[in-house]
Amino acid sequence: MDTQNLLGEDFAPAVTPTSDERTLAILAHILTIVSSFIAPLIIYLLKKDESTFVSEHAKESLNFQITIFILYMISFALMLVFIGFLLVWLLSMVNLLLVIIATIKANENRIYRYPINFRLIK
């Protein structure tokens, strides 16, 4: 398997973002560590019409955090058969790793796509 697909994919935006746009894109990812989906939701709602770069990152981050939340709920249900404990730990590690990768890609002025993501917000 291609490592790039396992860790997501990235591509260059049509227009080079400003430093403020890059900062907001970085925050849309990194703040999920402490706020889950709240930070990317706020950033998306505030900037969706102003910046394509920020909007894409916030939307992708928001969708990923919703995906992680759904997977956590499934894992909590599976705690009855003990496999859920392992899944919660694994999800936490994957979430942290992918958020760090997304943050780095945003800092490099790249649009990042998480490898596992229910894209509910379009």
d(CA 2, CA 19): 31
Average pLDDT over residues 50-71: 95
Average pLDDT over residues 90-115: 95
3-state SS assignment for residue 8? coil
Please check whether residue 63 is in contact with residue 21, taking contact to mean a CB–CB distance below 8 angstroms: no
Q: Please report the pLDDT score of residue 49 as a whole number.
A: 93
Task: Give pLDDT tens digits for 62-98.
Answer: 999 999 999 999 999 998 888 989 999 999 999 999 9
DSSP 8-state class, residue 102:
H
Task: Give pLDDT tens digits for 1-46.
Answer: 344 577 888 888 988 999 999 999 999 999 999 998 999 999 999 9
pTM, two decimal places: 0.90
Q: Which tokens hold the place of 100?
A: 């760090």
Q: Which tokens hold the place of 90?
A: 């694994």
